[in-house]
Amino acid sequence: MSDNLIPVNGAPVSDLDLGPDAGLGEPLEPRLGHDLGSAPARTKRRRREWVQLLIDAVHYRRTQIGLVLFCFILVVVLFGPYVAPHSPYQFVVRPFAHPSSTALLGGDSLGRDVLSRVLYGGRSVLGLAILATVIGLGLGVSLGLLAGYARPAIDDVVMRLLDVLLAFPQIVFVLLMVSVLGPRLWLIVLTVGLSHAPRVARVTRGATLEIKERDFIKAAESLGVSRIKIAFAEILPNISSPLLVEFGLRLTYSVGLIAGLSFLGFGMQPPTADWGLMINENALGISIQPYSVFIPVALIAILTIGVNLATDGLSRAMIGIERDTGAS
């Protein structure tokens, strides 16, 4: 359309790339940030696309709730150990003791303070989950770019190999690896990351296929820029939005997987304080001392729901950006 320069919520329309739009022949309008005078004041540094995406996403209620939940967990995880009344390994009360002034949330199966263990036990879950997600994303993005931008033959080989990995449910794949090679931390992080890679790669490849048809890629090719450089310097910045959404989604899964592994006894090992492990250890006493199980369950739930809501807001904001700028 002729003048699509309408700000959403007063913010400048974001800069996701312009598709052909309806405007065949008629140039699309520059954004509002565009100065028209003959002596253009230097427009203030324009926000990067993913920053704009974050800002747009925060306008959604679901993102706000998600962020609040996530920040709550973050505060617990980061500052919990400093305010914990006891050491997580110290026996302070009877096993499965009811809440008292010594142990505000009661005792666990061995008489350790549930509150302290909860405050200490988030680090492993969140830290490992983020690490695994970063690994999965790095691997998946590289493979996806390779598959999407390389010759069709390489694309086929890479994607079929990834399909094999995809055939395993994530938890089964991780369990298989861990039970064969033993419950080592680095292995858990690596295999969880690895199990994300095919899924991330698919998303990356899809986004890459669309971008690589654009003329600026051909322009770079005609200049003789190396393919690796084109993939990482030309294509990657253009698919940052879907990848940001993908990061949030994969983080949710990582949390679930890693907590699940600990629960199943393949993750963190006793006596470590870990939310997943706590659920396992205290499951026996659930009827006598429900806090020792429900508090870690609730925290894991809050973490995954929070990340998920925030991610959902992000993807909605992304669709909004695409609609506003006519990109498909």
Partner 1 sequence: MSRIILTVKDLEIALDPSGVEIDHEVNFELVEGEVLGLVGESASGKTTAATSLLNFQRRGAAISGGSITIDDRDLLTLGATQLRQLRGGVISYVPQDPGSALNPALRIGLQLREILEVHGFGSSHAEREARIVEMMDEVVLPSTKEFLRRYPHQLSGGQQQRVALAMAFACRPKIIVLDEPTTGLDVTTQAHVLDTIRDLTRAHKAAAVYVTHDLAVVAELADRIAVMYAGRLVEIGPSNELFDGASHPYTRRLLHAIPVLTGRRTLEGIPGFAPRPGRRPPGCSFAPRCAYAVEQCSAAMPPEVVVSEMHRVRCWRHEEVRAQAPVLAKEDSGKPESSGKDGLVTVRGLTAWYGSKEILHDIDITLRPHECLALVGESGSGKTTLARCLAGLHPFKIQGDIEFRDKPLPRLARSRPRAVRGAIQYVFQNPYSSLNPRKTIAQILSQPLEMFFEFNTFEYSSNREEREKRLQKVLELVSLDETLLGRYPDQLSGGERQRVAIARALAADPTVLVCDEITSWLDVSVQASIVELLVRLQREIGLCMLFVTHNLALIRSIAYDVAVMSEGRIVEYGPTDDVLANPQAEYTKKLLADTPTIESRALRA
Taking alpha carbons only, the member of 204, 200, 228 closest to residue 137 is: 200
Binding mask 251-280 for partner 1 (x = CB under 8 A): ------------------------------
Based on the shown chain and the rule CB under 8 A, indicate whether residue 319 belongs to the binding site for partner 1: no
Q: Please name the residues in contact with 310: beta carbons below 8 A apart, sequence gap of 6 or more.
A: 57, 62, 63, 66, 67, 70, 248
Based on the shown chain and the rule CB under 8 A, indicate whether residue 33 belongs to the binding site for partner 1: yes
Based on the shown chain and the rule CB under 8 A, indicate whether residue 6 belongs to the binding site for partner 1: yes
Determine the interface stretch with partner 1 among 62-70, 218-226, 252-260, 277-285 (rule: CB under 8 A): 218-226
Based on the shown chain and the rule CB under 8 A, indicate whether residue 223 belongs to the binding site for partner 1: yes
Based on the shown chain and the rule CB under 8 A, indicate whether residue 216 belongs to the binding site for partner 1: yes
Based on the shown chain and the rule CB under 8 A, indicate whether residue 85 belongs to the binding site for partner 1: no
Based on the shown chain and the rule CB under 8 A, indicate whether residue 215 belongs to the binding site for partner 1: yes
Query: Site size for partner 1, by CB under 8 A?
Result: 51
Report the C-alpha gap between 148 and 205 in whole angstroms.
Answer: 5
Determine the interface stretch with partner 1 among 74-82, 152-160, 223-231, 293-301 (rule: CB under 8 A): 223-231
DSSP letters, 69-132, are HHHHHHHHHHHHHHH-SS-TT-B-S-TTPPP-SSSTT-B-TTSBBHHHHHHHTHHHHHHHHHHH
Candidates 116, 124, 238, 252: give the one binding partner 1 (CB under 8 A).
238
Based on the shown chain and the rule CB under 8 A, indicate whether residue 7 belongs to the binding site for partner 1: yes
Based on the shown chain and the rule CB under 8 A, indicate whether residue 38 belongs to the binding site for partner 1: yes
How many CB atoms neighbour CB 303 within 10 A? 27
Q: How far is CA 46 from CA 30, 314, 319, in A?
A: 13, 20, 20
Based on the shown chain and the rule CB under 8 A, indicate whether residue 49 belongs to the binding site for partner 1: yes
- 23: buried, middle or exposed (CB in 10 Å: 19+, 13-18, 0-12)? middle
Based on the shown chain and the rule CB under 8 A, indicate whether residue 221 belongs to the binding site for partner 1: yes
Based on the shown chain and the rule CB under 8 A, indicate whether residue 287 belongs to the binding site for partner 1: no
How many CB atoms neighbour CB 325 within 10 A? 19
Based on the shown chain and the rule CB under 8 A, indicate whether residue 15 belongs to the binding site for partner 1: yes
First to last CA, the chain: 15
Candidates 153, 164, 222, 287: give the one binding partner 1 (CB under 8 A).
222
Based on the shown chain and the rule CB under 8 A, indicate whether residue 40 belongs to the binding site for partner 1: yes
SS3 call for 305: helix
SS3 call for 54: helix
Residues that bind partner 1 (CB under 8 A): 1-7, 10, 15-34, 36-38, 40, 42-43, 45-46, 49, 214-216, 218-225, 234, 237-238
